[in-house]
Structure 1
Amino acid sequence: MTEARAGMLLVATPALLDPNFADTVVLLLDVDDNGALGVVLNRPSGVPVGDVLADWGEVVAEPGVLFHGGPVSTEGALAVGLLRDSDDAPVGFREVFGQLGIVDLDTPVELVDGSLSGMRIFAGYAGWGAEQLVGEIEEGSWYVVPAQPRDVFRGDPDDLWRDVLRRQPGELAWHSTRPVDPDLN
């Protein structure tokens, strides 16, 4: 089992039936002794970012909509951005891993805009209490795999779950073609 830490992906296994997380890919943004926080990468909404956060509408990556980040604090927004240059982190940017980080949406857009090669805004987030995520991983609800920055900013996130599994080594890649109900195979 790979350790769950910031910058890793949680890929829902077929055993995870919770409708908030079935067939999701979650980017972990923070993991410590108190718990974990992440955002669901493959649940776009139909709401354009510009309708909710007008200043940020031109900055976000296509498809330019808010994403359902998870069931916690759905009235709030959290932004993830990718730096163009690792030596040019703007005010309001906190590194998560590599050039990927969290963008403070209270920062004036003009201080951030030219520094990012991609940005996505999530309504809500996924959160776990201390040891809760470890328990879910041990019970087989999540595969823990490395993230790639392009996972966050895909124009079409519908096939993200399968594509992330497909690139994994060994037998884990086989799960990318597994039917929802193996008994029907």
Structure 2
Amino acid sequence: MPVSLVGHLLVATPLLRESAFDRAVILMLSHDDDGALGVVVNRPTDVPVDSMLPEWTHVASDPAVIFDGGPVSPESALALVFVDAESEPLGVRRITPQVGLVDLDTPVEVVEQGVSGLRVFSGYAGWSPDQLESEIDEGSWYVLDAQPGDAFRADATELWRTVLHREGGDLALVSTFPEDPSLN
């Protein structure tokens, strides 16, 4: 396991079935001695971005809806951008070379020149110090490399299967598990 999980994906294992994280795919935004934070990137809602952040709508990736980022602080909004520019746009903190966390208080005009996509999340997933490591050790999460477009996929609801399938081997087999194993 990498020392820092920033920029990696946490993919829920079947152990998390029937939990709030059932088939969740989380992009890790922060991971240090104070704990960890990420956003669930595969749970779109029906709430359009323009209903809450109309100034950002033209930058939003398809589908242009708010995503359920996790159970912590659901009244808060976090946003990721797909960064095009070599230089870091003002108001953006890179998570990976092509994905950044944007400060939504930054004027859109300042950010939009260097980005080609935006995804807005309501809430986030958070862990206290050592909590995430314990969950990984007990087999609740697969830690996988993220691809730049994972957080911006139009078919986000298929991401759990897609990520596991592209890993090959046993994880590709896990990707075929039915949502209800009793139907197998």
Which residue is 1:135 aligned to? 134
Q: Structure 1 pair 175/54, CA: closer, same or farther in 2 (3 Å)?
A: same
User: Could you tell me the TM-score, scaled by structure 2's length?
Assistant: 0.94
Q: Structure 1 pair 64/181, CA: closer, same or farther in 2 (3 Å)?
A: closer
What are the equivalent positions in structure 2 for 1:140-179 lying under 5 Å apart?
140-179=139-178
CA contact (8 A) 1:4 1:144 kept: no
Which residue is 2:16 aligned to? 16
Structure 2 stretches lacking a partner, 5+ long = none
Q: Structure 1 pair 13/4, CA: closer, same or farther in 2 (3 Å)?
A: farther
Which residue is 1:71 aligned to? 71
Which residue is 2:46 aligned to? 46
TM-fit CA distance, 1:183: 5.9
Between the aligned partners of 2:71 and 2:127, the Cα distance in structure 1 is 11
Which residue is 1:7 aligned to? 7
> Matched residues, percent identical?
53
Between the aligned partners of 1:54 and 1:23, the Cα distance in structure 2 is 30
Structure 1 stretches lacking a partner, 5+ long = none
Between the aligned partners of 2:133 and 2:175, the Cα distance in structure 1 is 23
Amino acid at match of 2:83: L
Between the aligned partners of 1:166 and 1:70, the Cα distance in structure 2 is 24
Which residue is 1:106 aligned to? 105
Amino acid at match of 1:81: V
What's the RMSD between the two structures over aligned residues?
1.6
TM-fit CA distance, 1:21: 0.7
| Misfit runs of 4+, over 6 Å | none
Between the aligned partners of 1:141 and 1:132, the Cα distance in structure 2 is 12
Between the aligned partners of 1:2 and 1:183, the Cα distance in structure 2 is 35
Q: How many residues align?
A: 184
CA contact (8 A) 2:75 2:123 kept: yes
Amino acid at match of 1:131: D
